Amino acid sequence: MKMLEEARGKWVGSLNEVVIGATKQQGGTRTSTVTVGGEKTLPFLAYEGPTKNRPVVAMEIWDREPEDWPNSLMEALGDAVKSPAEWAKKCVEEFCAEMLCLHLMGTHPDFGNASPQSAAAVVKSVLAATGVPLIIWGCDHDETDNEVLPRCSEAAKGEKCLIGAVKEDNYKTLVSFCLADGHSLIGLSPIDINIAKQVNILVSEMGFPLDRMVMYPTTGALGYGLEYVYSIQERSRVAALGGDKMMSMPVICMVGQESWRTKEAKASAEEAAGWGDENTRGVFWEIATATALLQAGSDIMVMRHPAAMTAIKNVINKLVK
């Protein structure tokens, strides 16, 4: 029987490779580093080319104990959430996380208003407790981030962290500090490919190297704009492969944050009878969201539930095999 010819894409561009984390030899204290990007094809099309660096999962931890996370998530994480360093340690030692994303929610004026100094101390404690590369994420309140993140950048100098997020109208402060302290940067755009590109242009105009930038095109969970997010990420990947240097940055997705804010993940058995076991519902929501986004072209998945992370690591391993 005559087989159909494989429809292979022909691409001229590739994603930039970004290295996160620095070992002792590289001027930091990490015991491992993570490299993302470098792809020359749409995701997981092995017949077009190999996946240069497989997508990586970072576990999200907070600088303060979360108050409104559902039981199924809190039970899986246990008491460790009371201390960022313990939480970090548990993620790495027990859940085998390859990377951590420290979300400084406690610095938000409405959510603890922790000082820049205390945030920097948390960063140091997490770096001391674990050896994996670190993502440091502000509280998405521009004024606060501009005070907090520079102190965190200094505190982590030389560790080659990934710090975010800069936006179209708020980028100069953080770009300067990350440039000076050797970190990489996350550029945020509100599900808008044109703004994503603009942020990249603005940041690179300040002399920031393209191979130290990651895009956060904003994530939507299953049932909450996932299709739109998918199409934006896919278009951005196609542009990168077509040679658009200002769209060639790897992509980070806040999968856990978006999945666990859906009512399907949060609702208790009493609130939503007939929706299935509340202990697995949220995990499945996080897995389904992450699986779809992997296919859209995602390089760093920030996730919350250890079981969901393990499942996605298995998915990645099977897809890349």
Partner 1 sequence: MFVIGERINGMFTDIGNAIAARDKKPVQAMAEKQLTAGASALDINVGTRVPKADRPAVMKWLVEAVREVTDKCLSIDNPGLETMRQGVAEAAKGGLPVIINSTIGQQDQLEAFMALAKEFDAGIIGLSIDEKGVAASTDAKVEIGMRTIAAAMEAGVPVENVYLDPIVLPVNVNQTAPGIVIETISQLKMLSDPAPHVVVGLSNLSQGALERRLINRTFLVMAIAAGLDASIHDPLDDEMTDAMITAELLLNKTIYSDSFLKAYRQK
Residues that bind partner 1 (CB under 8 A): 193-195, 197-198, 201-202, 204-205, 235-236, 239, 243-247
In 36-54, which positions are buried (b, 16+ CB within 10 angstroms) versus exposed (e)? bbbbbbbbbbeebeebebb
Measured CA to CA, the distance from residue 280 to residue 289 in angstroms comes to 14
Task: CB nearer to partner 1: give 128 or 201.
Answer: 201
Measured CA to CA, the distance from residue 113 to residue 128 in angstroms comes to 24
Q: Quick check: 223 and 231 in contact, CB under 8 A?
A: no
Tell me how far, at minimum, the Cβ of 193 lies from partner 1, in Å.
Answer: 6
Tell me how far, at minimum, the Cβ of 159 lies from partner 1, in Å.
Answer: 29
* Per-residue tokens: 268: 């208790």
Residue closest to 148 by CA, chosen among 164, 167, 162:
164
Residue closest to 238 by CA, chosen among 56, 51, 13:
13
AA letter at 261: R
Task: CB nearer to partner 1: give 127 or 239.
Answer: 239
Task: CB nearer to partner 1: give 205 or 277.
Answer: 205
Task: CB nearer to partner 1: give 130 or 236.
Answer: 236
Tell me how far, at minimum, the Cβ of 167 lies from partner 1, in Å.
Answer: 14
Tell me how far, at minimum, the Cβ of 8 lies from partner 1, in Å.
Answer: 12
Task: CB nearer to partner 1: give 239 or 296.
Answer: 239
Task: CB nearer to partner 1: give 207 or 274.
Answer: 207
Rg (CA), the chain: 19
Tell me how far, at minimum, the Cβ of 274 lies from partner 1, in Å.
Answer: 44
Q: Quick check: 11 and 242 in contact, CB under 8 A?
A: yes
Tell me how far, at minimum, the Cβ of 3 lies from partner 1, in Å.
Answer: 20
Task: CB nearer to partner 1: give 76 or 238.
Answer: 238
Tell me how far, at minimum, the Cβ of 311 lies from partner 1, in Å.
Answer: 33
Q: How far is CA 183 from CA 28, 135, 161, 244, in A?
A: 11, 10, 5, 23
